[in-house]
């Protein structure tokens, strides 16, 4: 187990370096001057350009720039954006909002996806199962931004169950509507994955053994079928964090949530290189670490991995 954890930890390093290097290169080293873009048509004095270039280390060779960026990232010295606001303070303000949104969406898709998938799988071929299967295809087909507008219109504007836009006061309650929208697409995938997995495990030898031992049906379902069916689902949930982050860009825009996705979108459109690179790097780090945790959870769920040399 220790060796497994160590190996997984070591694998994280090249992935993180590779991804951040790729993003850093695309933002700063490809043709097109990020500083000149700031001023639009006006030509700033050369001294201003030089000062800005020095401040963002753009006068250094590329790899040195990247090295300084990494050093700053790990010492939490994130510097200032092009409007001279400290990026660290901005992150501290917007990150908890997106974390709340993502956790809420994750809970919604995991709890409802697994519950519906389990019931559908146990009643395979029945009315509930076929209805849920077709409905999940429809949910998958509707893009997040369409779903966002439709939900905003129906539940926010017409029914008035939730506030159509979140604005400054983001908390667990106001974030429910965007979280449902964000979680819904993956909810359908979780449901289908759980269903397939449950059907596969229902006919497994160990389930027959458990039933033959005289265990009650709920116990067989909960500890034998469900736990083993969770293995692919947990992997999917971890890998899916990435699309959750992508979805957050759209959802936060529609519901005006002051979070990371919204900020990143604005920063990309305005060409604020330093902010973009830092936000993307932090997101990549979160994603990589989350997948590491998922792999460890996976090892806990599946003894075959745990006891592997």
Partner 1 sequence: MKSNRQIEHFVAPVDETPLLPTDTLRVEAAPLSLWADAWRKLRRRPLFIISSVMILLIITVALFPGLFTQTPPNQNCLLANSEAGPTAGHPLGFTFQGCDVYSRIIHGTQASLSTGVLSVLCVLVIGVTFGALAGYYGGWIDAVLARLGDIFFALPILLGALVITQLPFFRENKSVWTVVLVISMLAWPQMARITRGAVIEVRHADFVTAARALGVSKFGALARHVLPNAIAPVIVLATLELGVFIVLEATLSFLGVGMPESIMSWGHDISAAQTSIRTNPMILIYPAIALSVTVLSFIMLGDAVRDALDPKSRQR
C-alpha torsion sign, points 180, 182, 184, 189: negative
To the nearest whole angstrom, how small is the minimum distance from the Cβ of residue 217 to partner 1? 19
Residue number with CB closer to partner 1 (63 or 111): 63
Whole-angstrom Cα distance, residue 225 to residue 228? 6
Please work out the total of residues on this chain that contact partner 1, with binding judged by CB under 8 A. Answer: 50
Question: Site map for partner 1, 241-270, x if CB under 8 A?
Answer: -xx-xxx-xx--x----------xx--xx-
Residue number with CB closer to partner 1 (220 or 286): 286
- Hey, which residues does 80 pair with through a beta bridge? 86
Residue number with CB closer to partner 1 (232 or 271): 271
Whole-angstrom Cα distance, residue 208 to residue 202? 8
Residue number with CB closer to partner 1 (282 or 296): 282
Is residue 278 near partner 1 by the rule CB under 8 A?
no
Question: Site map for partner 1, 196-235, x if CB under 8 A?
Answer: x--x---x--------------------------------
How far is C-alpha 107 from the geometric centre of its chain's CA atoms? 13
- Hey, which residues does 176 pair with through a beta bridge? none
User: Cβ(267)–Cβ(276) under 8 Å?
Assistant: yes
Residue 186, number of CB atoms within 10 A of its CB: 26
- Per-residue tokens: 11: 């694998």
DSSP state of 29: I
Q: Which backbone phi and psi does 86 adopt, to 5 degrees?
A: -65, 125
Is residue 6 near partner 1 by the rule CB under 8 A?
no
Is residue 120 near partner 1 by the rule CB under 8 A?
no
DSSP state of 32: S
To the nearest whole angstrom, how small is the minimum distance from the Cβ of residue 214 to partner 1? 11
To the nearest whole angstrom, how small is the minimum distance from the Cβ of residue 140 to partner 1? 6
Alpha-carbon distances of 294 from 77, 98, 156, rounded to whole Å: 29, 20, 35
To the nearest whole angstrom, how small is the minimum distance from the Cβ of residue 4 to partner 1? 17
The CA R_g of the chain, rounded to the nearest whole Å, is: 24
Residues engaged in binding partner 1 (CB under 8 A): 11, 14-16, 18-19, 22-23, 26-27, 30-32, 137-138, 140-146, 149-150, 152-153, 157, 196, 199, 203, 239, 242-243, 245-247, 249-250, 253, 264-265, 268-269, 271, 276, 280, 283-284, 287-288
């Amino acid at each position: 187990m220790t060796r497994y954890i160590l190996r997984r930890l070591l694998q994280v390093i090249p992935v993180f370096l590779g991804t951040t290097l790729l993003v850093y290169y695309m933002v700063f080293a490809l043709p097109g001057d990020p500083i000149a873009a700031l001023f639009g048509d006006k030509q700033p004095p050369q001294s201003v350009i030089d000062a800005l270039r020095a401040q963002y280390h753009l006068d250094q060779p590329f790899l040195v720039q990247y090295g300084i960026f990494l050093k700053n990232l790990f010492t939490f010295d994130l510097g200032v954006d092009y409007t001279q606001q400290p990026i660290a303070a901005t992150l501290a303000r917007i990150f908890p909002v997106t974390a709340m949104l993502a956790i809420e969406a994750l809970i919604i898709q995991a709890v409802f996806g697994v519950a519906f998938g389990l019931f559908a799988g146990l009643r395979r071929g029945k009315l509930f199962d076929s209805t849920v299967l077709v409905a999940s295809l429809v949910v998958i087909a509707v893009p997040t931004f369409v779903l966002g507008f439709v939900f905003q219109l129906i539940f926010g504007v017409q029914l008035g169950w939730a506030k159509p836009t979140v604005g400054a006061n983001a908390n667990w309650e106001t974030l429910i509507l965007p979280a449902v929208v964000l979680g819904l697409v993956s909810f359908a995938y979780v449901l289908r994955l759980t269903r397939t997995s449950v059907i596969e495990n229902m006919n497994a030898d160990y389930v027959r053994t458990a039933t033959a031992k005289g265990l009650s049906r709920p116990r067989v379902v909960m500890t034998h079928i469900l736990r083993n069916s969770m293995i692919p689902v947990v992997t999917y949930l971890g890998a899916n964090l990435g699309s959750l982050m992508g979805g957050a860009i759209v959802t936060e825009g529609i519901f005006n949530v002051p979070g990371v996705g919204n900020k990143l979108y604005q920063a990309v459109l305005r060409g604020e290189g330093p902010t973009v690179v830092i936000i993307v790097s932090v997101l990549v780090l979160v994603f990589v670490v989350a997948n590491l945790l998922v792999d460890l959870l996976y090892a806990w769920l599946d003894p075959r991995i745990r006891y592997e040399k």
